[in-house]
């Protein structure tokens, strides 16, 4: 049985993107919930739903529900309240959904004592300048991400999700003392970036002083996941 979790020390979030629940549990049983939190995204939530989340919570894990909510304010209000009722630790929401949507998400959490961390998605790490230009966004990626970060801060979100390369620019313009930064796209030197176009090494994440990093395929696809995790931890 796992020891009681001390979540003040967690800064590594492991992304679970398994299609097979048994394979996922075999992997999870080797993890210590006092060290790692778990990210449930669209794949596993669609396949296994709330029941699976409750199983992980009973094992002592904090859950980051990464569904990247994006909808009209009224729908977001209800969705975020539903998330809070699940005792979720952290939830993601697209900043580009607009100020009213973000304010609605924050307002939805007002009645709750144990509020999930509300984290704003800037842009997906699979996108680059060319992709954004095709979407009609002509300013630089850095300016666009900074603009989104400022909106998230203004709307009292708990933090943002962004590439490590953008953090120094954000910290120049925003007081991040109580504003969390979560960085996905973590890769060890020499590892494939897969479909990620904005990747960061664990060492760089440490230099950027991020609050949380998301580790996914480099661990879950590793022949020796625990050894890979220890290597990552040694670098942060």
* pLDDT tens readout for residues 175-216: 877 899 999 878 776 554 454 455 778 888 888 888 899 998
Q: Is 200 annotated as a binding residue?
A: no
Whether 131 shows a pLDDT value over 70: the answer reads yes
- pLDDT tens per residue, range 217-233: 889 888 888 888 888 88
Per annotation, catalytic residue among 68, 103, 129, 180: 68
Residue of higher predicted confidence among 233 and 160:
160
181 annotated ligand binder: no
125 labelled binding-site residue: yes
- SS3 of 90-105: the string is EEEEEHHHCHHHHHHH
Question: Residue 1 pLDDT > 60, yes or no?
Answer: no
106 is in an annotated binding site: no
- For 145-154, the pLDDT digits (tens) are 999 999 999 9
**Residue 68 annotated as binding site:** yes
Secondary structure in 3-state letters for the chain? CCCCCCHHHCCEEEEECCCCHHHHHHHHCCCCCCCEEEEECHHHHHHHHHHHHHHHHHCCCCEEEEEEECCCHHHHHHHHHHHHHCCCCEEEEEHHHCHHHHHHHHHHCCCCCCCCEEEEECCCCCCCHHHHHHCCCCCCHHHHHHHHHHHHHHCCCCEEECCHHHHHHHHHHCCCCCCEEEECCECCCCCCCCCCCCCECHHHHHHHCCCEEEECHHHHCCCCHHHHHHHHHHHC
Average pLDDT, whole number, for the chain? 89
Output phi, psi for 131, to 5 deg: -60, -45
Which pLDDT belongs to residue 191? Answer: 54
What pLDDT is stored for residue 21 in this prediction?
97
Per-residue pLDDT tens for 36-77?
999 999 999 999 999 999 999 999 999 999 999 999 999 999
The span from the CA of 68 to the CA of 157, in Å, is: 14
- The response to whether 187 counts as a known ligand-binding position is yes
pLDDT score recorded for residue 6: 46
Res. 3: pLDDT tops 70: no
Was 211 annotated as part of a binding site?
no
Cα–Cα separations (whole angstroms), residue 114 to 70, 86, 215: 23, 11, 26
Quick one: average pLDDT of 122-146? 89
Task: Respond yes or no: is residue 154 known to be catalytic.
Answer: no
Q: List C-alpha distances in Å: 186 to 33, 152, 191, 206.
A: 20, 23, 10, 11
Burial 210-235 (b: 16+ CB within 10 A, else e): bbbbbbbbbbbeeeebeebbeebeee
What domains, with CATH codes, occur in the chain? Answer: 7-235 (3.20.20.70)
What pLDDT score was predicted for residue 189?
62
Q: What is the pLDDT of residue 218?
A: 86
How high is the pLDDT of residue 198? 59
The reply, when asked if residue 74 is annotated as ligand binding, is yes
Q: Check: CB of residue 170 under 8 Å from CB of residue 162.
A: yes
């Amino acid at each position: 049985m796992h020891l009681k979790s001390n979540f003040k020390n967690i800064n590594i979030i492991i992304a679970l993107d398994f299609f097979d629940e048994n394979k996922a549990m075999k992997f999870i049983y080797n993890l210590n919930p006092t060290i790692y939190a778990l990210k449930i995204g669209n794949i596993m939530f669609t396949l296994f739903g709330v029941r699976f989340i409750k199983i992980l919570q009973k094992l002592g894990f904090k859950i980051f529900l990464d569904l990247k909510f994006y909808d009209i304010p009224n729908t977001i209000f209800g969705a975020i309240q539903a998330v809070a009722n699940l005792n979720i630790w952290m939830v993601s929401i697209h900043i580009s959904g607009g100020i009213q949507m973000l304010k609605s998400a924050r307002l939805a959490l007002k009645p709750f004592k144990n509020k999930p961390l509300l984290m704003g998605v800037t842009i997906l790490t699979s996108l680059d300048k060319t992709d954004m230009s095709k979407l009609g966004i002509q300013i630089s990626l850095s300016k666009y991400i900074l603009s989104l970060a400022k909106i998230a801060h203004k709307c009292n979100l708990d933090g943002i999700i962004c590439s490590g390369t953008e953090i120094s620019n954000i910290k120049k313009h925003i007081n991040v003392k109580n504003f969390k930064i979560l960085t996905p796209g973590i890769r060890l030197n020499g590892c494939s970036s897969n479909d990620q176009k904005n990747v960061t090494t664990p060492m760089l994440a440490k230099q950027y002083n991020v609050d949380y990093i998301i580790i996914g395929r480099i661990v879950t696809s590793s022949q020796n996941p625990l050894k890979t995790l220890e290597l990552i931890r040694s670098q942060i």
